[in-house]
């Protein structure tokens, strides 16, 4: 556990973010290794199938992720206020919620998976492999939520190192199982899905065994958990807007995928690889944003809001330096990066075109996400939800649909950074109002900052 309420803001956020960044590198290795194995050893149709499954997976889990985000913000604020009894009850409540939710998502997703793919106009020849991959992944949803829920809880407590260790274990296992199931057992896309779920399951149960013996606040036991209705309602108040935000983002991704799907297998495969590269490039901004959220949550919980602005400026400087470096690497090496995933020249050419448009605006995404991290840490998730809705559904999706008729797939690519730009403008303007300071869970007699 790490107390972020005293000490140099830049140093605290950097030290907290580094293990998360390293962990996210290993987390991204899940998707990247999956795509590398699929693209090089199975084929571009399988690559398209796995890529087409990702927006659906995100859509199915996004609402729960949003509610869980509310729970971790509550945990971080109670921890900042040194109310450890409520921290423990909040952890129990969050675990109970995510396990029940995972069972519902697994059953519903498996039943309707094929119907969803047809609704998204996925080419008929890709559907069987996509359905196989998605159903296996959904069947292991309980360990997916368990593993990621445990990591999120630990980050809310200021512990970003322990999740890293188990992420490393999971990532190494995933690589081994990918190669074993695909190259040796010849299980195709099913092998990739089994590898992901099995590796996360082993890491989750290993983490629980370790934490039960070593951690003061986390003692995982199904039969001793207590569901706290009041804490859940607090988490729900914060998490519902975030849940809706995640859901609408996921539905937007599915809608965008439906537009991409109309251009055929080559474009689907190229877009899928481009998103993998995007995910790796944007993880620096996302992890600094998450670190800042925990920092803000603890300091607002401790009634030290004067530290928030300093923390924000320090985070923007650190993340910007990394983002600019990553942008140059992606722009200068786009064709080579695409070539790691596939040898198909058409897919490489389309993917390079995607990266040449989107990568220029990585810095915009970085600023947008980090400024949003301040609001999330303060517990203000309603306004960011509306900002996301506007940038996605009023700007990006209509533009992608309209511009794809005029410019082809390039029109879809340009709609993405335009949406980010609108999101940044609105996020920054709302930050300047300071209204997000009034949304804290922990209340004090004297007004805050």
For the stretch 115-158, pLDDT in tens is 999 998 899 989 999 999 999 999 999 998 888 888 878 877 77
Q: Quick one: CA torsion of 405, 406, 407, 413, rounded to 10 degrees? A: -60
Query: Is a pLDDT exceeding 70 seen at residue 421?
Result: yes
Query: Is a pLDDT exceeding 80 seen at residue 397?
Result: yes
Classified as helix, coil or strand, 380 is: coil
Question: What tokens does 210 get?
Answer: 């370790």
Task: Identify the residue with better confidence: 351 or 220.
Answer: 351
The closest of 257, 417, 410, 271 to 341, measured between CA atoms, is 271
Contact between 152 and 68 under an 8 Å Cβ cutoff? The reply is yes
- Note the helical H segments in 180-216: 189-214
Task: Identify the residue with better confidence: 49 or 25.
Answer: 49
CA distances (Å), 241 to each of 330, 386, 404, 431, in order?
34, 9, 31, 17
| Mean pLDDT, residues 23-42 | 80
pLDDT the model gives residue 448: 42
Contact between 292 and 312 under an 8 Å Cβ cutoff? The reply is yes
What is the spatial distance between Cα 366 and Cα 360, in angstroms, rounded to a whole number?
A: 12
Total residues belonging to the chain: 449
The closest of 381, 385, 389, 387 to 436, measured between CA atoms, is 381
pTM of the model: 0.75
Least confident of 21-25, 54-58, 204-208, 430-434: 21-25
pLDDT the model gives residue 71: 84
């Amino acid at each position: 556990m790490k107390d972020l309420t005293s000490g140099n803001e830049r140093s605290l956020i950097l030290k907290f973010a580094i293990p998360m960044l390293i962990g996210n590198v290993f987390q991204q290795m899940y998707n990247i290794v999956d795509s590398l194995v699929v693209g090089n050893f199975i084929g571009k149709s399988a690559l398209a199938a796995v890529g087409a499954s990702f927006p659906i997976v995100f859509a199915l889990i996004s609402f729960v992720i949003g509610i869980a985000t509310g729970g971790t913000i509550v945990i971080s604020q109670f921890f900042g206020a040194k109310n450890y009894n409520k921290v423990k009850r909040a952890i129990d409540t969050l675990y109970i919620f995510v396990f029940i939710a995972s069972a519902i998502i697994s059953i519903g997703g498996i039943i309707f998976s094929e119907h969803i793919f047809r609704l998204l106009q996925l080419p008929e020849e890709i559907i069987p492999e996509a359905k196989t991959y998605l159903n296996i992944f959904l069947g292991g949803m309980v360990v997916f939520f368990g593993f990621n829920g445990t990591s999120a809880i630990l980050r809310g407590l200021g512990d970003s190192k322990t999740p890293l260790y188990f992420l490393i274990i999971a990532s190494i296992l995933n690589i081994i199982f990918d190669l074993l199931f695909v190259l040796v057992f010849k299980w195709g896309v099913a092998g990739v899905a089994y590898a992901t779920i099995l590796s996360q399951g082993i890491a989750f149960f290993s983490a629980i065994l370790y934490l039960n013996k070593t951690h003061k606040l986390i003692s995982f036991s199904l039969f001793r958990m207590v569901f706290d209705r009041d804490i859940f309602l607090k988490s729900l108040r914060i998490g519902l807007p975030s849940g809706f935000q995640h859901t609408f983002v996921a539905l937007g991704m599915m809608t965008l995928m439906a537009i991409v799907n109309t251009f055929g297998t080559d474009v689907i495969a190229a877009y899928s690889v481009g998103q993998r590269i995007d995910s790796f490039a944007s993880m620096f901004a996302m992890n600094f944003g998450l670190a800042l959220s925990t920092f803000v949550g603890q300091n607002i919980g401790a009634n030290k809001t004067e530290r928030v602005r300093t923390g924000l400026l320090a985070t923007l400087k650190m993340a910007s330096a990394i983002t600019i470096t990553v942008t140059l690497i992606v722009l200068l090496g786009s064709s080579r990066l695409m070539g790691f995933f596939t040898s198909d020249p058409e897919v490489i050419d389309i993917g390079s075109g995607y990266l040449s448009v989107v990568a220029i605006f990585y810095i915009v995404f970085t600023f947008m996400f980090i400024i949003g991290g301040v609001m999330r840490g303060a517990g203000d998730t309603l306004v960011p939800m509306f900002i996301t809705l506007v940038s996605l559904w009023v700007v990006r999706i209509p533009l992608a649909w309209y511009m794809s008729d005029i410019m082809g797939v390039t029109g879809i690519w340009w709609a993405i950074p335009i949406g980010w730009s609108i999101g940044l403008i609105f996020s920054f303007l709302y930050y300047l109002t300071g209204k997000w300071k009034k949304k804290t869970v922990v209340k004090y007699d004297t007004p805050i900052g």
